[in-house]
């Protein structure tokens, strides 16, 4: 049986039986993993004002530490996606979360930029698996009309984690030091791991499909759709990495905030990002409801929300810091609104036992873009200012949306051709 035929049979079975109510439990687990993922990731950006001063790090030094994370993240996206497809969602997700949780705790042992970069590299290796595993949860448990909304739910964990991180980590640092922050946040992942292994299971009606041998990654690279989708991620995700890794630094160096003020305000753009996940899924669902085909609904949604990200340009130019934060918050809402729809696209096109590999390959593009632009960001800030950086990250998402709009429609390329 071909992958397309298998997908069709499983889809019909699922539609006949109706989606299980357990799907909300399963997506909640993916949501919690994503919250922890971003708490681990964001801890460094919150403590950066303290740790860079203690280790006497320049913006370029800090950008190299960010680069170490992105290098590992990029490499392992190409590995973690196929790994999750082969091990299965339950075991594959568990391996990734266990790895990154231990790596996060190791940050407490850092003694300078080099050791910090090494631990950051290890963190990136594990965290790369979260989204390939998450899209597999969505593909296994949700019908097509709910996938963008479900993707928005689990991906909203990234925004929630980023919202929680500034006040929580700042409080921990002020109470017991920055090393304790890494230990506490990293330990949360090990608690999640126990819950995941106890609860998660694959729906009975899709077990036969996901048990089939997935399409090899080498063959997926030959797909025009996969290649274009990967290129779009090079331009879409670096803006988000900038807000994640540099926003607290921006508030300190460009707007004069101290650590307490960063803790009070740095979460705001990530709260709107959380709303963007749900709004993005609801937006495309509304288009589907009025008869817009799924592929076209996703593309329209990505373009609309990418346009919102241009608000980053005036954000750096206005003198009022609160207006600046509001504009940045609009940009982060735009990013997650677009991403909720991009997360659903591989499952719309490929069989469930391959979507992890497709997203992993695409995320290699995101990691590559993150590496390049993180190094450029540090250099540009040190030599010029934040102005050209914000302008660039306001324009790049439009390039990504243009590439997504040009993706081949489903009938132009069959998944079965990849296995021939």
What is the band of 390 on the pLDDT scale with cuts at 50, 70, 90?
very high
Can you tell me the distance from the alpha carbon of 272 to that of 269, in angstroms, rounded to the nearest whole number?
Answer: 5
Is the pLDDT reported for residue 242 higher than 60? yes
Q: Does residue 9 sit within a domain? A: no
Q: Does residue 415 sit within a domain? A: no
- Per the listing, tokens 């997360």 go with 343
Give 105's contacts (C-beta < 8 A, 6+ positions apart).
Answer: 182, 183, 186, 187
Task: Tell me the average pLDDT of the chain.
Answer: 84
286: three-class secondary structure by DSSP: helix
Can you tell me the distance from the alpha carbon of 30 to that of 136, in angstroms, rounded to the nearest whole number?
Answer: 10
The DSSP code for 183 is H
Q: Tens of pLDDT along 153-187?
A: 888 888 788 778 878 888 888 888 888 889 998 99
Question: Is residue 144 a contact partner of residue 294, using CB atoms and an 8 Å limit?
Answer: yes
Give 411's contacts (C-beta < 8 A, 6+ positions apart).
Answer: none
Q: Tens of pLDDT along 359-368?
A: 888 888 888 8
Say if pTM beats, i.e. exceeds, 0.85: no
- CA-wise closest residue to 108 among 182, 186, 44: 182
Q: Does residue 2 sit within a domain? A: no
Q: Tens of pLDDT along 35-77?
A: 999 888 888 878 888 888 888 888 778 878 888 888 898 888 8
Question: Is residue 157 a contact partner of residue 108, using CB atoms and an 8 Å limit?
Answer: no
What is the band of 189 on the pLDDT scale with cuts at 50, 70, 90?
very high
Question: Is residue 76 a contact partner of residue 124, using CB atoms and an 8 Å limit?
Answer: yes
Other CB atoms within 10 A of residue 319 CB: 6
Residue 207's pLDDT is 67
Question: Is residue 244 a contact partner of residue 41, using CB atoms and an 8 Å limit?
Answer: yes
Q: Residue 72: what are its φ and ψ, rounded to 5°?
A: -65, -40
Q: Does residue 88 sit within a domain? A: yes
C-alpha 71, offset from chain centre: 15
Q: Tens of pLDDT along 72-105?
A: 988 888 888 888 888 888 899 999 999 999 999 9
What is the band of 218 on the pLDDT scale with cuts at 50, 70, 90?
confident
C-alpha 114, offset from chain centre: 26
The count of structural domains within the chain is: 1
- Three-state SS string over 99-152 comes to HHHHHHHHHHHCCCHHHHHHHHHHHHHHHCCHHHHHHHHHHHHCCHHHHHHHHH
The DSSP code for 21 is T
Phi-psi region of 369 (alpha: psi -120 to 50; beta: other; left: phi over 0): alpha
Question: Is residue 272 a contact partner of residue 329, using CB atoms and an 8 Å limit?
Answer: yes
Distances (CA, A) of 113 to 83, 321, 381: 31, 31, 19
Q: What is the CATH number for 166? A: 1.20.1250.20
Can you tell me the distance from the alpha carbon of 5 to that of 9, in angstroms, rounded to the nearest whole number?
Answer: 6
Q: Does residue 273 sit within a domain? A: yes
Length of the chain: 420
Residue 94's pLDDT is 94
H/E run at residue 207: helix 207-211
Q: Does residue 420 sit within a domain? A: no
Other CB atoms within 10 A of residue 175 CB: 9
Rounded CA Rg of the chain: 20
Q: Does residue 208 sit within a domain? A: no
Q: Does residue 10 sit within a domain? A: no
User: Containing domain of residue 232, as a range?
Assistant: 21-200+217-410
320: three-class secondary structure by DSSP: coil
C-alpha 318, offset from chain centre: 29
């Amino acid at each position: 049986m071909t992958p397309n035929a298998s997908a069709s049979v499983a889809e019909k079975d699922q539609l006949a039986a109706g989606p299980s109510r357990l799907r909300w439990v399963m997506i909640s687990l993916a949501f919690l993993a994503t919250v922890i993922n971003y708490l681990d990731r964001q801890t460094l950006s919150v403590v950066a004002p303290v740790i860079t001063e203690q280790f006497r790090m320049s913006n370029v030094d800090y950008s190299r530490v960010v680069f170490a994370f992105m290098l590992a993240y990029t490499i392992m996206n190409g590995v973690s996606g196929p790994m999750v497809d082969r091990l299965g969602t339950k075991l594959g997700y568990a391996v990734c979360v266990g790895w990154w949780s231990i790596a996060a705790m190791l940050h407490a042992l850092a003694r300078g930029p080099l050791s910090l970069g090494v631990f950051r590299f290890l963190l990136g290796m594990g965290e790369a698996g979260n989204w390939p595993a998450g899209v597999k949860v969505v593909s296994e448990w949700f019908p097509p009309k709910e996938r963008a909304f479900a993707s928005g739910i689990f991906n909203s964990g990234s925004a929630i984690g980023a919202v929680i991180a500034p006040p929580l980590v700042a409080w921990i640092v002020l109470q017991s030091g920055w090393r304790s922050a890494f230990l506490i946040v990293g330990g949360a992942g090990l608690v999640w791991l126990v819950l995941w292994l106890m609860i998660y299971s694959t729906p009975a009606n899709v077990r036969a499909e996901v048990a089939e041998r997935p399409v090899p990654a080498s063959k997926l690279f030959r797909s025009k759709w996969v290649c274009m989708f990967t290129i779009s991620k090079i331009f879409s995700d670096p803006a988000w990495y900038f807000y994640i890794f540099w926003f607290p630094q921006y508030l300190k160096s460009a707007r004069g905030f101290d650590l307490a003020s960063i803790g009070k305000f740095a979460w705001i753009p990530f709260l709107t990002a959380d709303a963007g996940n749900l709004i993005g899924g609801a937006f495309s669902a509304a288009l589907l409801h009025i008869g817009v085909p799924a592929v076209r609904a996703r593309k329209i949604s990505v373009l609309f929300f990418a346009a919102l990200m241009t608000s980053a340009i005036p954000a750096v130019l206005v003198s009022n810091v609160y207006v600046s934060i509001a504009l940045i918050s609009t940009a982060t809402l735009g990013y997650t609104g677009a991403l909720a729809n991009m997360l659903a696209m591989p499952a719309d096109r490929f069989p469930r036992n391959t979507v992890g590999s497709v997203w992993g390959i695409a995320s290699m593009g995101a990691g590559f873009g993150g590496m390049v632009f993180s190094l450029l960001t540090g250099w540009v800030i040190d030599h010029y200012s934040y102005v050209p950086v914000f302008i660039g990250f306001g324009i790049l998402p439009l390039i990504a949306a243009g590439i997504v709009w040009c993706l081949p429609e489903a009938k132009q390329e069959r998944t079965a051709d990849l296995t021939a």
